[in-house]
Amino acid sequence: MGGLATKILRPGMVLLKNFISLKDQVEIVQTCQKLGKGNGGFYQPGYGDGAKMLLKMMCLGKNWDPKTGSYGERRPVDGAEPPPIPGEFHMLVQKAIQDTHAYLLEEVGQKNVESVLPSMTPDICIVNFYTSTGRLGLHKDKDESQHSLNRGLPVVSISIGDSAEFLYGDQMDKNKAEKVELRSGDVLIFGGKSRHVYHGVNSIRTKSAPHELLQETGLRPGRLNLTFRKY
Ligand code: AKG
C-alpha cells in the first residue's frame, strides 16, 4: 500500500501518493457508477479522424469533445447535458491543492506558492475508464481557455482502481518521456510551468487494484481517472 508522500516530479508537477482514503475511493467509484449509467454517462468517444479512443469517457460540469477539441454545455454525440461536479469532488480538489501549497511552503521553503502552482476551482471533470488494454497517447491539455492556459491553472488528476504507467515529458516522444506509476488513491497535479507538459497513459497494470475497493464497489477490472480543470 505505502503511506502518504508528496513528490515533486518537476516544477509545478506534484504527485500526492495515497492521498485518497479507501473509503473516499469507494465513494468516488459509487458516484461515478451512478452518474455513468444516467443521462450524459459513459460512452466511447472518437477522434476527428474517426479512430475510437481506447477508453470510456463521461464529462461533469461541462462537456469536452475529443472530435473537435472543444468545450460546450452539451455533448454533440447525443445532446446530453453533463451532470454537475459533485460537492465532494470539489472538496477533494481543493484539499489536494491546499495540501500541496502547505508542502511547498513548509517543506520546500517556497514563499510564493501561487506562482508555482496557482489555485484552481474546476468547472469540468473528465472521467475516463480504461480497461486492461486501455491507453492514451502523449498529448498536451490545450483546449482550455487562453486565460486558464496562460495562468497555468493546474489539472488535478485522481487515479482509482488498477495502476497506470503514466508518461510525461517535453516532447511527444514515448522514448524520451519520464515514467511514473499512478496507483489507486494517488493524485497528480500539473500546473504552472508544467501546465503544457506532454503526458499520456502507456499501459494499465492488471490486477493491481486494492481488493477491498473491488469487493465494496464491484468495479470492473480497469482504471478510473478523473481530471479536473478550469475551462
Ligand atoms: C487527460 O485526461 O488529458 C489525461 O491525460 C488522463 C491521464 C490519466 O488517465 O491519468
Where residue 1 falls among pLDDT bands split at 50, 70, 90?
A: low
The C-alpha torsion from 126 through 224 and 182 to 7, rounded to 10°, is 50
Give the type of residue at 50: G
Main-chain dihedrals φ then ψ at residue 66, nearest 5 degrees: -65, -25
Q: Are 185 and 212 in contact (CB under 8 A)?
A: no
Tell me, in angstroms, the distance from the centre of ligand 1 to residue 225's CA: 7
pTM of the model: 0.97
* Beta-strand relationship, 163-169 and 178-182: antiparallel
Give residue 3's pLDDT: 79
The number of the ligand 1 atom at minimal distance from the alpha carbon of 55 is: 9
Grid cell digits, residue 223: 482504471
Give residue 55's pLDDT: 87
Query: For the residues 6-30, what does the mean pLDDT come to?
Result: 98
The number of the ligand 1 atom at minimal distance from the alpha carbon of 199 is: 5
Residues with CB under 6 A from ligand 1: 126, 128, 136, 141, 157, 164, 166, 182, 199, 201, 225, 227
pLDDT digits (tens, 9 = 90+) for 50-105: 888 888 999 999 999 999 999 999 999 999 999 999 999 999 999 999 999 999 99
Tell me, in angstroms, the distance from the centre of ligand 1 to residue 126's CA: 9
Residues 12, 192: Cα–Cα separation, whole Å: 5
Query: For the residues 224-228, what does the mean pLDDT come to?
Result: 98
Grid cell digits, residue 12: 509545478
Where residue 4 falls among pLDDT bands split at 50, 70, 90?
A: confident
Give the type of residue at 166: F
pLDDT digits (tens, 9 = 90+) for 109-166: 999 999 999 999 999 999 999 999 999 999 999 999 999 999 999 999 999 999 999 9
Tell me, in angstroms, the distance from the centre of ligand 1 to residue 80's CA: 22
pLDDT digits (tens, 9 = 90+) for 163-217: 999 999 999 999 999 999 999 999 999 999 999 999 999 999 999 999 999 999 9
Tell me, in angstroms, the distance from the centre of ligand 1 to residue 215's CA: 25
